Chains A and B, each alone.
Chain A
Amino acid sequence: MDEPALIRSAQKGDIDAFNRLVLAYQHQVYNLAYRIMGEEASAADATQEAFISAYNHLKSFRGGSFKSWLLRIVTNACYDDLRKRKRRPATSLEELASEENGEGEFELPSTADGPETIVQRREMAAVLQEGITTLPDDQRIVLVLSDVQGMSYEEIAEITNSNLGTVKSRLSRARGKLREYLQSHGELLPAQYRLEGDEV
Chain B
Amino acid sequence: MARQNDHNRVEELISAYLDKRVSAEEKDFFERHIASCADCRAQLETTRSMVAALKAMPAVKAPRSFVLPREMAKVPKRSFLSLYPALRLATIVAAMAFVVLFAGDLLINQAGGNNALQSIPAAAPAPVVMQAPAAMPQAAATQEPAAAEAYSAAATAPAEPPAPAAAAGAAAKVSATAVMTEAPMAALIAPTATPETTTVANAADQTQMALSATPEPTEPMLGQQMEATEQPAISNVVEATPAPTIEPLRVVEIALLVLAVVLGIATIIVRRKQA
Which A residues lie at the B interface, using CB under 8 A? 13-15, 18-19, 22-23, 26-27, 29-31, 34-35, 40, 44, 47-48, 51-52, 55-56, 105-110, 121-122, 124-125, 128-129, 143, 146-148, 150, 153, 168, 171-172, 175-176, 178-179, 182-183, 189-190, 193-194, 196-197, 200
* Residue from A22, A106, A128, A178 within 8 A of B67 (CB atoms): A22
* Residue from B14, B59, B60 within 8 A of A175 (CB atoms): B14
Q: Which of B32-81 contact A (CB under 8 A)?
A: 43, 45-68, 70, 72-73, 75-77
Chain A's nearest CB lies how many Å from the CB of B268? 23
Assembly CA distance A159 to B21 (angstroms): 19
B109 at the interface (CB under 8 A from A): no
- In the complex, the answer to whether A31 meets B68 with C-beta atoms within 8 Å is no
Of the listed residues B11, B18, B68, the one surrounded by the most CB atoms of chain A closer than 10 A to its CB is B68
For A178, list chain B residues within 8 Å (CB): 50
- In the complex, the answer to whether B62 meets A26 with C-beta atoms within 8 Å is yes
Closest to A117 in B: B56
* Residue from B20, B49, B77 within 8 A of A200 (CB atoms): B20
Assembly CA distance A124 to B51 (angstroms): 12
Assembly CA distance A177 to B68 (angstroms): 38
- In the complex, the answer to whether A108 meets B16 with C-beta atoms within 8 Å is no
Chain B's nearest CB lies how many Å from the CB of A16? 8
For A106, list chain B residues within 8 Å (CB): 60-61, 63
* Residue from A14, A26, A171 within 8 A of B15 (CB atoms): A171
For B19, list chain A residues within 8 Å (CB): 146, 153, 171
Since A26-B62, A55-B68, A197-B51 are in contact, a sample of 16 more A-B pairs with Cβ atoms closer than 8 Å, ordered by chain A residue number, is A19-B68, A22-B66, A27-B59, A27-B62, A30-B62, A30-B63, A106-B63, A122-B58, A124-B53, A147-B51, A150-B55, A182-B46, A193-B50, A193-B52, A193-B53, A200-B17
Assembly CA distance A179 to B15 (angstroms): 11
For B17, list chain A residues within 8 Å (CB): 200
- In the complex, the answer to whether A51 meets B68 with C-beta atoms within 8 Å is yes
- In the complex, the answer to whether A128 meets B49 with C-beta atoms within 8 Å is no
Closest to B18 in A: A200
Chain B, interface SS category: helix
Q: Contacts A55-B72, A179-B46, A194-B45: A128 and B62 contacting too (C-beta < 8 A)?
A: no
Chain B: residues with Cβ within 8 Å of the partner, total of: 41
B12 at the interface (CB under 8 A from A): yes
- In the complex, the answer to whether A193 meets B76 with C-beta atoms within 8 Å is no
Q: How many A-B residue pairs have CB under 8 A?
A: 140
- In the complex, the answer to whether A143 meets B54 with C-beta atoms within 8 Å is yes
Q: Which of B129-167 contact A (CB under 8 A)?
A: none
Assembly CA distance A14 to B68 (angstroms): 11
* Residue from B14, B21, B57, B63 within 8 A of A125 (CB atoms): B57
For A34, list chain B residues within 8 Å (CB): 60
Assembly CA distance A143 to B53 (angstroms): 13
Assembly CA distance A153 to B66 (angstroms): 28
* Residue from B45, B48, B63 within 8 A of A44 (CB atoms): B63
Chain A's nearest CB lies how many Å from the CB of B43? 7
Chain A's nearest CB lies how many Å from the CB of B16? 6
- In the complex, the answer to whether A197 meets B73 with C-beta atoms within 8 Å is no
Assembly CA distance A196 to B49 (angstroms): 7
Chain A's nearest CB lies how many Å from the CB of B71? 9
Pairs A–B under 8 Å by Cβ, sample size 28: A14-B73, A22-B65, A22-B66, A27-B59, A40-B63, A44-B66, A47-B66, A52-B68, A52-B72, A106-B60, A110-B58, A125-B57, A128-B57, A147-B54, A148-B54, A148-B57, A153-B19, A153-B21, A168-B15, A172-B12, A175-B47, A179-B50, A193-B49, A193-B52, A196-B52, A197-B48, A197-B52, A200-B48
